[in-house]
């Protein structure tokens, strides 16, 4: 990425208990490597400083401190993608950082799941601190009410994103039991010792209460954010808030809600092509469009919201997306599993095989991430393709062989499946609505391969009466997956030495959900009494 896009500016700092969270500034791209700090009292004393404080929330979400204090891309710089794939079956973790996650060997002291909890809450607190400061700046006349509402909308969008990530790892699915324990809702700023006693007594809200708060944050963001932000893709927007709501409502099985939100982004009527009236989002002509070259994932019409990494601020050798997923010169620690590579529903001539995968004649890798040298690939949080498939599934769940669902599925699929013989010729290609829904679910696994979405789908579908994942499937180890096991169209029948983790029944079923970290339960006796069963 061209260095002219970066400009060092000042930053602020605000403590959350023992954590120091930094805020950066922005020019054309976000400067995620600040070089100065402001005191808490002066951080919101001018319009420029308020702007820098808001950028600091993105910085916290991109790179909170790992358990050893280093930047490993937690929570959203890269780690959510690595963890989301390592928890599923469509990637294999080569022995190293994410093997514990892949094998289900974690406990309440394990670094990977502990880091997700602590950095997500650090980012949430950063958002809370800035919301409080922004509201104070509006009251003082430092910024206008409209500017303040937009800044608060950015913070609340990021807070909603963080809370949903916590829920899919540390709580039961909404679709199973909305009244089950969710995660603690910390909605006020913790900036020093006076705030600590109250913060250390916050108990877990229910899953339903957490989803209600997430939607409230996203509704506020939708109302107050611009359709096109000054910095596209890596800053929150009205369209990003709506797009994320289609995901949230999908987890709630609120099919009508998914359809209503998607309609705002142009999915309400059958079309040969789809374009959003908000933000002008559209699919790129080729499936590699959002990933075609270094920097492309910062400037394409399909990426709705991504987390920036840049040459000054990234997860480096031990954590970046490109390092983890890319063959040499990357480290190649996350490799495509023959489970998905061999799946008959992934046709041999699908362009996503030729354009978005590569091999070293030992494993197959995703090639979505192009910069293992300087680690500048953005983390693709949500794309227009997901909106289309979210809405397609909602339509397929609510109508017998929905023409809308069929059209939305084909919009995503047919840009990659170009041979007429491999395409779904008409709605008559499906005998039932369930067959159409299954095709949409299959498409998600191919389209978002290497983007961390697999765990999210395993979690939300685990109790589905028709499409249940049953839990975390059994998987092959990296030793099981020899090059000969990658056979297109012939289902993988090799060894699966990593045992399944069922959602219910069986000694290991409690491991479907992660434990609250011991560093948290030691500090908060209320949460110690609300630990997830089995830990």
63 confidence band (pLDDT: 50, 70, 90): very high
Report residue 445 as tokens. 């696994």
Cα torsion 175, 500, 121, 147 to 10°: value is -50
Mean pLDDT of 416-444: 97
Q: How far is residue 125's CA from residue 391's CA, in Å, rounded to a whole number?
A: 32
Q: Tell me what pLDDT residue 75 has.
A: 97
Does the pLDDT at position 40 exceed 80? no
Q: Percent of the chain beyond pLDDT 70?
A: 92
Q: Tell me what pLDDT residue 295 has.
A: 78
Q: Which residues contact 202 (CB under 8 A, 6 or more apart)?
A: 184, 185, 186, 524, 526, 527
- Between 6-20, 72-86, 308-322, 353-367, the lowest mean confidence (pLDDT) is in 6-20
pLDDT tens digits, residue range 331-341? 999 999 999 99
Report residue 343 as tokens. 């799946």
Q: How far is residue 161's CA from residue 244's CA, in Å, rounded to a whole number?
A: 8
Mean residue pLDDT of the chain comes to: 91
Are 52 and 9 a contacting pair, CB within 8 Å? yes
456 confidence band (pLDDT: 50, 70, 90): very high
The residue ranges of every structural domain in the chain are 3-528
Closest CA to 381 of 99, 160, 144, 143: 160
Q: Cα angle at 191 between 137 and 64, to 5 degrees?
A: 100
Q: Tell me what pLDDT residue 64 has.
A: 87
Beta bridge partners of 418: none
197 confidence band (pLDDT: 50, 70, 90): low
Long-range contacts of 221-224 (CB under 8 A, 24+ apart): 221/153, 221/154, 221/156, 221/157, 221/160, 222/153, 223/149, 223/153, 224/149, 224/150, 224/152, 224/153
Mean pLDDT of 14-25: 32
Buried b (16+ CB within 10 A) or exposed e, 357-380: beeeeebbbbbbbbbbebbbbbbb
Instruction: List phi, psi (to 5°) of 202.
Output: -70, 130
pLDDT tens digits, residue range 365-409? 999 999 999 999 999 999 999 999 999 999 999 999 999 999 999
Q: Tell me what pLDDT residue 37 has.
A: 56
Does the pLDDT at position 21 exceed 80? no
Helix, strand, coil shares of the chain as percentages rounded to 5? 45, 10, 50
Does the pLDDT at position 478 exceed 70? yes
Are 264 and 408 a contacting pair, CB within 8 Å? no
125 confidence band (pLDDT: 50, 70, 90): very high
Output the DSSP codes for 265-279. Answer: TT-SS--SS-B-TTT
Element of type H or E holding 151: helix 145-170
Higher pLDDT, 297 or 236: 236
Mean pLDDT of 240-261: 98
Q: Tell me what pLDDT residue 67 has.
A: 85
Output the DSSP codes for 465-534. Answer: TTT---EEPPB--TTT--GGG--TTS---S---B--EESSSSTTGGGGSPPPPHHHHHH-HHHHTTPPTT
At the top level of CATH, the class of 3-528 is mainly alpha
Q: How far is residue 510's CA from residue 503's CA, in Å, rounded to a whole number?
A: 7
Q: Which residue has the tokens 């490993």?
A: 72
Element of type H or E holding 157: helix 145-170
Does the pLDDT at position 133 exceed 90? yes
Does the pLDDT at position 20 exceed 70? no
Q: How far is residue 18's CA from residue 41's CA, in Å, rounded to a whole number?
A: 19
* Cα-Cα end-to-end distance for the chain: 45
Q: How far is residue 181's CA from residue 330's CA, in Å, rounded to a whole number?
A: 40
Closest CA to 383 of 467, 310, 452: 452
Q: How far is residue 63's CA from residue 57's CA, in Å, rounded to a whole number?
A: 10
1 confidence band (pLDDT: 50, 70, 90): very low
Element of type H or E holding 307: strand 303-307
Q: How far is residue 532's CA from residue 535's CA, in Å, rounded to a whole number?
A: 6
Does the pLDDT at position 8 exceed 90? no
Rg of the chain on CA atoms, in Å: 22
**CA dist 436 to 18, 140, 227, 249, 370, Å?**
50, 56, 33, 20, 34
How many residues appear in the chain?
535
Q: Which residues contact 1 (CB under 8 A, 6 or more apart)?
A: 29, 294, 295, 298, 310, 311, 374, 376
Q: How far is residue 179's CA from residue 267's CA, in Å, rounded to a whole number?
A: 32
Q: How far is residue 63's CA from residue 76's CA, in Å, rounded to a whole number?
A: 7
Q: Which residue has the tokens 């996503």?
A: 352
42 confidence band (pLDDT: 50, 70, 90): confident
> Peptide bond preceding 75: is omega within 30 degrees of 0, i.e. cis?
yes
């Amino acid at each position: 990425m061209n260095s002219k896009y970066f400009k060092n500016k000042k930053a602020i700092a605000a403590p959350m208990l023992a954590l120091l969270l930094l805020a950066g500034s922005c020019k054309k791209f976000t400067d995620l490597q600040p070089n100065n700090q402001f005191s808490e009292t002066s951080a919101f004393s001018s319009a420029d400083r308020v702007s820098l404080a808001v950028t600091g929330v993105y910085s916290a979400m991109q790179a909170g401190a790992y358990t050893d204090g280093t930047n490993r891309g937690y929570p959203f710089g890269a780690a959510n993608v690595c963890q989301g794939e390592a928890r599923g079956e469509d990637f294999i973790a080569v022995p190293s950082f994410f093997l514990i996650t892949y094998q289900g060997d974690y406990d309440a002291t394990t670094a990977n799941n502990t880091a997700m909890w602590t950095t997500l809450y650090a980012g949430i607190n950063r958002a809370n601190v800035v919301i409080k400061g922004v509201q104070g700046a509006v009251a003082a006349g430092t910024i206008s009410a409209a500017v303040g509402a937009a800044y608060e909308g950015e913070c609340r969008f990021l807070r909603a994103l963080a809370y949903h990530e916590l829920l899919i790892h540390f709580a039961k699915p909404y679709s199973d039991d909305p009244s089950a324990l969710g995660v603690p809702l910390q909605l006020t700023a913790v900036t020093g010792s006076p705030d600590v006693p109250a913060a250390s007594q916050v108990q877990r809200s229910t899953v339903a209460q957490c989803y209600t708060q997430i939607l409230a944050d996203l509704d506020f963001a939708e109302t107050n954010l611009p359709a096109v932000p000054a910095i596209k893709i890596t800053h929150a927007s009205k369209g990003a808030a709506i797009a994320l709501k289609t995901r949230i409502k999908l987890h709630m099985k609120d099919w009508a809600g998914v359809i209503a939100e998607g309609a705002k982004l142009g999915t309400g009527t059958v079309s040969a092509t789809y374009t959003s009236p908000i933000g002008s989002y559209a699919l790129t002509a080729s499936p590699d469009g959002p990933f075609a070259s270094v920097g492309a994932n910062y400037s394409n019409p399909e990426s709705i919201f991504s987390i920036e990494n840049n040459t000054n601020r990234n997860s480096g050798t031990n954590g970046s997306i490109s390092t983890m997923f890319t063959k040499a010169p990357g480290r190649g620690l996350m490799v495509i599993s023959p489970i998905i590579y061999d799946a008959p529903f992934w046709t041999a001539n699908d362009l996503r095989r030729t354009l978005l995968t590569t091999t070293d004649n030992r494993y197959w890798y995703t090639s979505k991430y192009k910069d293992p040298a300087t680690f500048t690939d953005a983390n693709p949080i949500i794309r227009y393709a997901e909106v289309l498939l979210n809405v397609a599934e909602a339509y397929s769940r609510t109508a017998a062989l929905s023409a809308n669902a069929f059209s939305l599925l084909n919009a995503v699929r047919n840009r990659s499946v170009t041979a007429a013989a491999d395409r779904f010729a008409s709605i008559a290609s499906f005998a039932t609505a369930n067959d159409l829904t299954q095709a949409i679910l299959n498409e998600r696994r191919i389209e978002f391969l290497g983007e961390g979405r697999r765990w999210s789908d395993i979690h939300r579908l685990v109790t589905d009466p028709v499409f249940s994942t049953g839990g975390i499937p059994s998987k092959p180890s990296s030793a099981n997956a020899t090059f000969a096991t990658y056979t297109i169209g012939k289902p993988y029948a090799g060894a699966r030495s990593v045992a399944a983790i069922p959602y219910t029944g069986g000694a290991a079923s409690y491991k479907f959900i992660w434990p609250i970290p011991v560093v948290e339960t030691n500090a908060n006796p209320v949460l110690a009494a609300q630990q997830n069963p089995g830990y």
